Amino acid sequence: ALADAVGTAMRHRPTSARRWTADARRSVSGLAAALRAGRNRRRELLAGLDADALVRALPLWVGTVADVEDLLPPVAGMFDLVVLDEAAHIDQLRAAPVLARARRALVAGDPRQLRFVSFVADVDVTATLRRHGLERFADRLDVRRSSAFDVAAGAAPVTWLGEHHRSAPHLIQFSARRFYDGRLELVTRHPRNERADVIDVVAVPDAAVTDGVNQAEVDAVLDLVRRRAADPPDGGIAVVSPFRAQADALEAALLAAYDVDEIERLGLRSGTVHAFQGSEADVVIASLGLVAEDPPSRHRFVTEPNLFNVLVTRARKHLTVVTSLRSPQGLVGDYLGYAGRPPAPAQTDPGPAEGWTAALAEELRRLGLPVRPGYPVGRWRVDLCVGEDADAVGVICGVHPDGVAAHVERQRTLLRAGWPLYDVFDSRWSDDPIRAALDLAARIARP
C-alpha cells in the first residue's frame, strides 16, 4: 500500500498546481515560441523568460553543451545542480555557458580517454589573458590544453569511480592494466565470462592504403558484418576506425550493402573513434587502417594512448580487430599479443573461509556442487560462488563485515550485475550447515 501511495504521488507531482503556476505556463509557452523562431530572435526571446518558473515546471533537462545557448535563458544559477559528463572531452569555452547556469556542479570525466581538440592559438590565449589582467591564472585558463575536467579536478576534491560495468573481463583487462594501473574493478566478472576469449584478430594480407583508405580492410569488415547479419546481437554492431577517410569508406560500403531497414535490424553504426567516445555496442569491429609502409605520423596517431584506449573499450561482448600490419610493434603489438592469449580466470584466494561460511562450503562440496569462496566482483567479494559457468550463483552467508551500509551496497551491485543471489545465514538454519546446504541445492536446481 505504501509503495502504491508513493508511486501515485510521484506520478501526480509533475502535473501538480504547485509546479504549473500561471508564471510557469507562460514561461513554457514562451519557450515553445522561442524554439520556433530563428536563432537570433530565439536568443532574444529566451532572455525574456522567467527562468525560475520554467525550471519549476520542467526541473530536469538533458542535452549537449552545444544546445545550452539555444535552449535555455541566459540566467546565472538557474539550476540547483548541473552534471557535466565526458568533461575531459569538453573545452572550457563550451563548458562555461553550462556551468554559469549552475549553483553547484558535478563534473565527471576520464582523463585516460579522448580529449577535446582546440584550434585556439597560444598567442591569442596569452593576449586575451593580458588584456583582462588574468596572467596569474594562465595555467588554469589554458583553454588549449586544460579541459573542463582538468579545471574542476584542480579546484575541488576528486572521487575515483573505479567500478567497470560495461565489458566482459577479456575486453577490459588490457586497458585496466595499461592505462589505469590496475585500478579498475570489474563488476562484469562472472564464471560464465571470466575465461571467455572474446577478442578476435583478422589479419588482412597484401593490403595498401590509397588516399587514406585501406580497401582490403573495408572488404574484410563487410564480410564480418555479413556473417553477423543472420543472428545480430541485441546490443548492435559498431564499426569503427581511427582515421576519417577509412571510417567514411566503411560507412559508404555499409550503406551500399544494406538498406535502412536492415541497418536498423542489425543496430549497425559506423564512425571514427572520436565519434564513438561515450558510446558502446555488444559487438565492435575495429579497422586499424594501417600498413607497415605508412608514414610514422599515421602509426603515432593510432598508438596515441587515449585514442587507443577508447578504440578497444567500446565493446560489451565481442571485439574483432582487423589489421594489415605484418609485425606490429609497440602498443598495437602489445594489444594483439594480449588478444592472442586465452584470458586468465579470476584470482580468488581471499584466504580460507571460516566459521559458518566454511562449514556451508564443505557441505555443498559433499553434494557435488563446485564452490569458490570469496569470488571477486568489482570491489566486493561473493561469500560463496556456487556452480559453474552461466549456472553459477552467489551465496551470501552473513552481513558484510563492514556493516549494514556495505552489505546493502554489495547486494545492489551484484543484483545490477545480474547475479542470482541466495541468503543463507546461520541464524536462519540454527547453525546447521547440512540442512542449509540441502535446501540451497534444491533451490538452485529448481527451474
**Residues 148-157 as b or e (16 or more Cβ within 10 Å = b):** bbbbbbeeee
Cell 545550452 belongs to which residue?
Answer: 68
Cα–Cα distance, 372 to 188 (Å, whole number)? 17
Question: Confidence class of residue 447 from pLDDT cuts 50, 70 and 90?
Answer: low
Say whether pLDDT at 315 is over 60.
yes
Where do the DSSP E strands lie in 204-335?
A: 209-210, 213-214, 237-241, 268-272, 281-287, 315-323
CATH number for region 355-445: 3.40.960.10
Query: What are the pLDDT digits (tens) for 9-43?
Result: 666 666 677 788 899 999 999 999 999 998 889 99
Cα–Cα distance, 145 to 402 (Å, whole number)? 42
Report the top-level CATH class of 198-340.
Answer: alpha beta
Residue 62: Cβ within 10 Å count: 6
Distances (CA, A) of 421 to 231, 392, 425: 31, 10, 13
Say whether pLDDT at 398 is over 90.
yes
Cα–Cα distance, 292 to 294 (Å, whole number)? 6
Grid coordinates of 145: 590544453
Residues contacting residue 181 through CB under 8 Å, at least 6 positions apart: none
**Which is more confident, 138 or 227?**
227
User: Within 13 Å of residue 321, how many CA atoms lie on the same side as its CB?
Assistant: 26
Span 431-440, mean pLDDT?
95
Cα Dmax for the chain: 80
User: Amino acid identity, residue 339?
Assistant: A
> DSSP secondary structure string, 234-251?
TT-EEEEESSHHHHHHHH
pTM confidence score: 0.85
CA quadruple 317, 323, 326, 331: dihedral positive or negative? negative
Nearest to 366 by CA among 415, 446, 437: 437
Cα–Cα distance, 299 to 341 (Å, whole number)? 24
Say whether pLDDT at 418 is over 80.
yes
For the chain, what are the domain ranges? Answer: 1-154, 198-340, 355-445
Span 88-115, mean pLDDT?
93
Mean residue pLDDT of the chain comes to: 92
Predicted confidence at residue 140, as pLDDT, reads: 78
